[in-house]
């Protein structure tokens, strides 16, 4: 299967068309990763060339900094552009990504997350290109990062941040990918699902941790997971809650226990008025969170690049 990327220098009008084929049957994390790793193994592009091209792109927007809300400040909302979900099916496969981004910005979102996975989420690099051009918000490429080339591709598409899923990576890959992201001035959302993964993320130097409340094998949601893990996230690390966030009540609870940001997709995509839906999630004050001291950690956004 050919690798789907936006080539260096590609404009929004030249981006690959969106593919809305049938979702493959192996939609758990193992099946998804197998698809992405096979594609990465078949990628014969020169990594040094990709790094050079990615390094020459226009400056990134400060994704982590936009989420670095102090205690007492207003929780940040990362609003997601998402056409389809393996667990929920079609959400809005015909959406206009640029128009959605404009609505999100008008509603007060702090950033936009864009699904670029084609096979399992019907996303597209074209969606990210369109979003980046349509708004002034920093943009996260939401995809399954399994190689340094994936990080370069994110930069070439115009992303300001990438997703690194701890469950999908070895310790060596996690540390290496964080270094590549920093080299390319990209922020990294390091996603965890349990205490062991959080420890691995912090040991690797994660400055921005996303706690996913959805089990990537069963797709069930455990809303208690966010509460358990936030107690172990140091105060200097930005904490983001993901998945299973249905509305204002959920967001208020997460802000109260110390999350500085939430990533919300399905409920916003399904909302008849997306501007109002985003606005309803804003305004919640971030509370204090217990944290374990980990000497030597830098505040998010403080990495020298």
Catalytic site residue 142?
yes
**What residues pair up with 94 in beta bridges, in sequence order?**
none
- 82, 85, 147, 197: which one is catalytic? 82
Q: Angle at the Cα of 200 (from 194 to 206), degrees rounded to 5?
A: 105
Which superfamily does 27-281 belong to?
A: Aldolase class I (3.20.20.70)
Q: Which residue in the list 66, 85, 113, 243 is annotated as catalytic? A: 243
Position 241 scores a pLDDT of 96
d(CA 81, CA 101): 8
Q: What is the pLDDT of residue 13?
A: 28
Three-state SS letters, 251-272: HHHHHHCCCCEEEECHHHHHCC
From 68, 80, 113, 147, active-site residue:
80
Give the pLDDT confidence score for residue 84 in this predicted structure: 84
Q: Which of 105, 197, 242, 266 is catalytic?
A: 242
What is the pLDDT, as a whole number, of residue 236? Answer: 92
Catalytic-residue membership of 191: yes
pLDDT at 223: 78
Q: What's the token pair of residue 56?
A: 């020459």
Region at 74 (left for phi over 0; alpha for psi -120 to 50; beta for the rest): beta
Known active-site residue 170: no
- Is 205 in contact with 224 (CB distance < 8 Å)? no
Q: Please tell me whether residue 281 adopts helix, strand or coil conformation.
A: helix
Provide the residue ranges of all domains of the chain, joining segments of one domain with +.
27-281
8 Å CB contact between 7 and 15: no
Report the helix count and the strand count for the chain, using DSSP H and E. 12, 10
Q: Give pLDDT, residue 47.
A: 95
Rounded CA-CA distance 142/23 in Å is 18
Tokens 């349990």 belong to residue:
194
Contacts of 239 (CB under 8 A, 6+ apart): 209, 211, 230, 233, 258, 259, 260, 261, 289
- Are 98 and 134 in contact by the 8 Å Cβ rule? The answer is yes
**Ranges of the chain with pLDDT below 50:** 1-27, 292-305
Inter-axis angle of helices 248-256 and 274-281, to 10 degrees? 30
Known catalytic membership, residue 88: no
Q: How far lies 125's CA from each of 85, 94, 258, in Å?
A: 17, 15, 33
Question: What's the pTM value of the predicted model, to 2 decimals?
Answer: 0.85
């Amino acid at each position: 299967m050919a690798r789907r990327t936006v080539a260096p220098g590609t404009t929004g009008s030249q981006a690959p068309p969106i593919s809305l084929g049938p979702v493959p049957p192996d939609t758990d994390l193992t099946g998804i990763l197998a698809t992405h790793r096979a594609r990465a193994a078949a990628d014969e592009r020169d990594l040094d060339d990709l790094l050079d091209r990615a390094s020459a792109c226009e400056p990134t927007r400060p994704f982590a900094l936009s989420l670095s809300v102090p205690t007492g400040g207003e929780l940040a909302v990362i609003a997601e552009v998402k056409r389809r979900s393996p667990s929920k099916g079609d959400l809005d496969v015909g959406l206009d990504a640029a128009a959605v981004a404009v609505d999100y910005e008008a509603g007060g979102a702090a950033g936009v997350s864009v699904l670029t996975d084609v096979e399992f989420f019907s996303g597209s690099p074209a969606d990210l290109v369109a979003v980046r051009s349509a708004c002034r918000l920093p943009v996260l490429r939401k995809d399954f990062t399994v190689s340094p080339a994936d990080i370069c591709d994110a930069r070439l598409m115009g992303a300001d941040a990438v997703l690194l899923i701890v469950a999908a990576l070895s310790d060596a890959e996690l540390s290496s990918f964080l270094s590549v992201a920093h080299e390319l001035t990209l922020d990294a959302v390091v996603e965890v699902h349990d205490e062991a993964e959080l420890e691995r993320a912090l040991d690797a130097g994660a400055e921005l941790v996303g706690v996913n409340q959805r089990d990537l094998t069963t797709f069930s949601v455990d809303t208690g997971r966010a509460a358990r893990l936030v107690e172990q996230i140091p105060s200097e690390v930005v904490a983001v809650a993901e998945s299973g966030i249905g509305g204002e009540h959920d967001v208020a609870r997460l802000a109260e226990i110390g999350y500085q940001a939430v990533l919300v997709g399905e409920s916003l995509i399904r909302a008849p008025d997306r501007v109002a839906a985003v606005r309803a999630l804003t305004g919640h004050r971030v509370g204090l969170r217990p944290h374990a001291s980990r000497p030597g950690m830098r505040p998010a956004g403080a990495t020298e690049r």
